[in-house]
């Protein structure tokens, strides 16, 4: 990886036109998320829907966790006419964005009192199209720039995504307050035009063919006995082998036995951050802060420091490469969790809350952009969408499962012990990064001696 010679050159990465395009695509990716979650819950409750019904709507979120199952289709299947016109990635992006806008229009045109099943079906459709867009945008981001710019691209994506959350959250509430919820969803559908326009304007990444990948796919087809593709069953199995099996085999062939360590790091890196996040708002309320104070601190300091941290993480990747900033992010996440433990045992104040939230969001922003850059560098150009979808699912699923026990820890031991615990679950990630740095250094030294 080529590194910037100085800080000025590192910061100039944000002047590249790809960064602006990624910010707008981040907006397009973030906009539908709340519209099928908390904003939709508010609409349903405002119309008098039962809490039990609203609870069932949370199952829509499962769609985002299983996108890895159709990522191979996005990676391999060309869309008639659209792929020829726009290219592989932009064609799928445009189709997903049109699907989201159509779903939001359908939701806005439905009556909560008489057409609730239709709204539920449309919410699942929007979530499906949204998660498909996520798969394509991630693949596009990885393919359109070189690896050293991935941290900066992640920061631009986070900026657009966060702005979209404000629009789909507070913005939708403002529109609904003046014109009603149906109008709010129509306006949000119109906002998807930003993503559509961006997709039409950005350039399609170059598609790189690899002889190694072709040989790998042929060898797997031969092992399965479908290399001749004699009938439709053999052709279907050959496609499954190329699209689904080959990405996994390629990853372990490229990384060898260290692939297990890499997957362990992916599963553990965000563990500390996500575990803390489950109990953060209940903690603020139990300290005696009002909902307005919490909102003001999280919206102002949280938003600004997350963006600043993500931007700094992108610069650090350009300046120092991936591994050292990756270690810094893991250490900062664990240490800032200890600040919450301090907040739990001393007299709270709004200034102290703002300081702790700022530190937490700054470290989270750095870690997020650096980690996305790390995951992006792990993918093969032949299987970008499939492999990154797998990594992103592995990144969040174990942490969310562990986070479910957070309330039990707080109930039994109190907040101060919980925050020390949440910091400690980040230590394995620190250790794994150190191990991978040592292995990387040893391999580089070995390669140097061979030459």
CA 178 to chain centre: 33
pLDDT over threshold 70, residue 444: no
Residues 395 and 315 in one domain: yes
Spatial separation of the C-alpha atoms in residues 386 and 245, rounded to whole Å: 10
Residues 39 and 184 in one domain: yes
> What is the reported pLDDT for 450?
58
Q: How many residues does the chain have?
A: 451
Identify whether 46 is part of a domain.
yes
Residues 197 and 228 in one domain: no
Identify whether 270 is part of a domain.
yes
Residues 194 and 216 in one domain: no
Whether residue 146 contacts residue 13, with contact meaning beta carbons closer than 8 Å, is answered with no
- Sorted by sequence, the CB contacts under 8 Å of residue 246 that are 6+ apart come out as 213, 216, 217, 220, 382, 383
Residues 165 and 189 in one domain: yes
Residues 46 and 129 in one domain: yes
For 242-268, give the DSSP string.
IIIIHHHHHHHHHHTTHHHHHHHHHHH
pLDDT tens sequence across 112-137: 999 999 999 999 999 999 999 999 99
Q: Mean pLDDT lowest for which of 57-71, 96-110, 353-367?
A: 57-71
> What is the reported pLDDT for 3?
62
Residues 230 and 348 in one domain: no
Residues 108 and 225 in one domain: no
Residues 191 and 315 in one domain: no
Q: How many domains would you assign to the chain?
A: 3
Identify whether 251 is part of a domain.
no
Residues 187 and 322 in one domain: no
Output the domain CATH number for residue 373.
1.20.1250.20
Residues 282 and 221 in one domain: no
pLDDT tens sequence across 219-228: 888 888 877 7
Among the listed residues 23, 41, 19, 43, the one whose alpha carbon sits nearest the alpha carbon of residue 31:
23
Spatial separation of the C-alpha atoms in residues 399 and 395, rounded to whole Å: 7
Identify whether 26 is part of a domain.
yes
Residues 173 and 44 in one domain: yes
The model carries a pTM of 0.83
Whether residue 356 contacts residue 184, with contact meaning beta carbons closer than 8 Å, is answered with no
Identify whether 33 is part of a domain.
yes
Q: Mean pLDDT lowest for which of 10-19, 31-40, 150-159?
A: 10-19
pLDDT tens sequence across 375-401: 988 888 888 888 888 888 888 777 767
Domain end position, chosen among 133, 166, 201: 201
Domain span at residue 157? Answer: 14-201
């Amino acid at each position: 990886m080529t590194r910037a010679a100085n800080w000025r050159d590192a910061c100039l990465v944000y002047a590249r036109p790809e960064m602006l395009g990624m910010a707008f695509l981040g907006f397009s990716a973030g906009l539908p998320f709340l519209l099928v979650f908390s904003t939709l819950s508010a609409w349903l409750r405002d119309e008098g829907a039962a809490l039990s019904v609203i609870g069932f709507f949370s199952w829509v979120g499962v769609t985002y966790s299983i996108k890895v199952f159709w990522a191979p289709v996005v990676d391999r299947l060309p869309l008639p006419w659209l792929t020829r016109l726009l290219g592989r990635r932009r064609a799928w992006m445009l189709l997903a964005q049109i699907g989201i806008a159509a779903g939001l229009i359908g939701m806005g045109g439905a009556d909560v009192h008489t057409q609730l099943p239709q709204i539920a079906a449309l919410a699942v459709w929007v979530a499906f199209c949204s998660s498909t867009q996520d798969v394509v945008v991630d693949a596009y981001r990885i393919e359109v720039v070189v690896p050293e710019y991935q941290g900066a691209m992640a920061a631009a994506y986070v900026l657009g995504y966060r702005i979209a959350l404000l629009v789909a959250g507070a913005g939708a509430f403002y529109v609904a307050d003046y014109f009603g919820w149906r109008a709010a969803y129509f306006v949000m559908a119109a906002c998807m035009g930003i993503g559509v326009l961006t997709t039409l304007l950005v350039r399609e990444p170059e598609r790189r063919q690899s002889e190694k990948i072709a040989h790998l796919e042929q060898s797997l087809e031969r092992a399965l006995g479908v290399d001749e593709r004699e009938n439709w069953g053999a052709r279907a199995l050959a496609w499954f082998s190329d699209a689904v099996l080959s990405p996994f085999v390629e990853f372990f062939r490229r990384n060898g036995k260290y692939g297990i360590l890499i997957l362990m790091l992916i599963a553990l890196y965000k563990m500390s951050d996500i575990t803390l996040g489950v109990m953060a708002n209940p903690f603020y309320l139990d300290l005696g802060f009002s909902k307005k104070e919490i909102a003001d601190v999280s919206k102002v300091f949280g938003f600004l420091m997350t963006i600043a941290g993500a931007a700094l993480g992108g610069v650090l990747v350009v300046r120092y490469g991936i591994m050292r900033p990756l270690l810094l992010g893991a250490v900062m996440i664990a240490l800032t969790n200890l600040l919450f433990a301090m907040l739990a045992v001393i007299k709270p104040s709004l200034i102290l809350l703002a300081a702790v939230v700022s530190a937490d969001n700054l470290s989270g922003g750095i870690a997020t952009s650096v980690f996305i850059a790390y995951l992006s560098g792990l993918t093969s150009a032949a299987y970008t969408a499939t492999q990154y979808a797998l990594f992103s699912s592995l990144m969040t699923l174990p942490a969310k499962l562990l986070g479910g026990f957070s309330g039990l820890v707080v109930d039994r031991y109190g907040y101060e012990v919980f925050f020390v615990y949440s910091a400690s679950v980040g230590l394995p990630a620190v250790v794994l990064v150190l191990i991978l740095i040592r292995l990387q250094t040893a391999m580089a030294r070995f390669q140097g001696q061979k030459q």
